[in-house]
Amino acid sequence: MSREINTVGVVGLGTMGAGIVEVFARSGIDVVAVEVTDEAVERGQATLVGSIDRAVAKGKLTPAARDEIFARVGFAVGFAALHDVDLVIEAVPEQLPLKQRIFAELDRVCKPGAILATNTSSLSVTEISVATTRPNQVIGVHFFNPAPVMKLVEIVRTVVTAPEVVADVEALCARLGKTDVTINDRAGFIANALLFGYLNQAVSMLEARYATREDIDAAMRLGCGLPMGPLALMDLIGIDTAYEILDTMYRRGGRDRRHAPVPLIKQMVTAGLLGRKTGRGFYTYEGPGSPKVVADELTAAPEPAGSTQITTIGVVGSGVMARGIVEVAARAGFDVVSVTRGEAKTAAVTAAVQGSLAKAVVKGKLTEDDQAAALARITWSHRLEDLDDVDLVIESVVEELSVKKAVFAALDEICKPGVVLATTTSSLPVIEIAMATQRPADVVGLHFFNPAPVMALVEIVRTIRTAPETTAAADALVAALGKTGVHCADRSGFIVNALLFPYLNDAVRMLEASYASADDIDYAMKLGCGYPMGPFELLDTVGLDVALAIQRELYLELREPGFAPAPLLEHLVTAGYVGRKAGRGFRDHTNL
């Protein structure tokens, strides 16, 4: 049976430390909050007061509850005040020598039975613990920012942490209303090991001028449903903090180049561009600590309007994506020619679009008149020749290069000069598709996301041969469809898939190494990072075969060992475990 912890000490009262103090005080636990100077104590106290007062203003706390919380917290300068606490949590900057010095002092001051915990997000808990004479009582307790809001706590045991210490901390987390995952001491633990490779890669895209900061962030918010884009998240975390975490993970985690800090990150740290806390990072803010972004010299200028007048759109394909694009275009007021292979597929697409529009009427998103008008704008066909007078064609056939090249070669013969030819490929090189025509300047990638009527994002992919007028016409079309367009060059995975699937692959590697269960990894990313789905939930939904195909394309292009598909992913696909569509992937879906 775990013992009850009644008094907790917190060392370091920055944003994270003050948040941890609030978590314990709100849960009825007495807290001794410690800093090294009076000024630091005052700053920490102001942070706590500000957070609690905001909760009162929002009606989440009563004034009486606020007073009770403040009554439970005692502030002090120096470690001597921690002599009688049951547990101490250290929350100082991510510097190993600093943490080791603090733990040596805590070992000297704290009573023999006290648990010594570190909130480190990337450093070795084992290396911190050996600075004490009681390494068996040292444990990692990693809260996430903001601590009062985020539900996840990573409990990190070393090879010598006593089982009863782990049990005590797990019970404490339950008492705090947190969800814990208990894991071994490894660089980055779960959440940061998966998160920071993704963040680092996003910075690499920006550094290479592959896409703008706004487009990278919009792509991941709108394409993946993430609460923040990667560059805005880096600013929130702190560029200096991100650099320390990446550098530690690179050195401790097998020197994986995905965790080697991109040079731009170190340059920004050197220049003092640390994110929100300094008022400038990847974005410029209204002032230090402000979340409000203001325009600066890097703010993207509006794209020029397209000169091509588009009134009629051709859509080639019969799959889910093609059907969605037909519906979106017709609802936006365009005349649409839907071309499929054969009368049976034409009938299937017709029924699917009619059914989807009918559902929109039932849900109140369309009137019956809107439905009738949209259907009247669609011409159904199974002949490519019927695209001879359209202004733009969107191809959405099977994701096979030879098939797409054949379609584009045929469109090149059929379509009138100046027609924009767009492919919805999500992973194939757009330039190879374009070069199947005699008009590569007119070819562009328009990567819609599924389901097209719902998802707001379209990646507009330019090749080295795409004319500016073609890109401008694509911009105008995407805006007319009510979508948000983001621009990128023609590179495997574009923005979203190039950032998303290596993260999913990293999660599979983590599972493959038996570091954590699929459930714990999913919990960590949903509760610790605010992701709408955990990586294994998402893999089962997308399809393991799809993930493997995209990861193979990324690896073939980038040739980095860290991008090689995880063997477990390949084995599962070979065995037919491809996700929900097959009833079995990382989880059994046969009864769902």
Q: Is the peptide bond before 146 cis (omega within 30 degrees of 0)?
A: yes
Identify the residue whose tokens are 């955990």: 534
* 142 noted as active-site residue: yes
For residue 488, list its beta bridge partners: 461
Backbone torsions φ then ψ of 446, nearest 5 degrees: -125, 90
- Which candidate, 182, 176, 175, places its Cα nearest to that of 142? 182
Q: How many helices (H) and strands (E) does the chain have?
A: 22, 18
Which long-range CB contacts under 8 A does 227-230 form with residues at least 24 apart? 227/530, 227/531, 228/530, 229/202, 230/198, 230/199, 230/202, 230/203, 230/499
CA atoms within 13 A on the CB side of 540: 18
Identify the residue whose tokens are 């920012």: 145
Largest CA distance in the chain: 85
- Which candidate, 303, 326, 342, places its Cα nearest to that of 374? 326
* 447 noted as active-site residue: no
3-state helix, strand, coil in the chain (%, to 5): 50, 15, 35
Estimate to the nearest angstrom the gap between the alpha carbon of 514 and the chain centroid.
23
Estimate to the nearest angstrom the gap between the alpha carbon of 497 and the chain centroid.
11
- Contact between 281 and 274 under an 8 Å Cβ cutoff? The reply is yes
Measured CA to CA, the distance from residue 436 to residue 415 in angstroms comes to: 14
Measured CA to CA, the distance from residue 150 to residue 234 in angstroms comes to: 17
- Which candidate, 384, 380, 362, 381, places its Cα nearest to that of 371? 362
- Active site residue: 35, 90, 154, 244, which one? 154
- Active site residue: 142, 259, 447, 487, which one? 142
- Contact between 262 and 247 under an 8 Å Cβ cutoff? The reply is no
- Active site residue: 121, 129, 396, 492, which one? 121
Measured CA to CA, the distance from residue 424 to residue 446 in angstroms comes to: 5
* 6 noted as active-site residue: no
* 4 noted as active-site residue: no
Neighbours of 498 (CB within 10 A): 26
Measured CA to CA, the distance from residue 116 to residue 129 in angstroms comes to: 9
- Active site residue: 51, 119, 129, 192, which one? 192
Residues annotated catalytic, as ranges:
121, 142, 154, 192
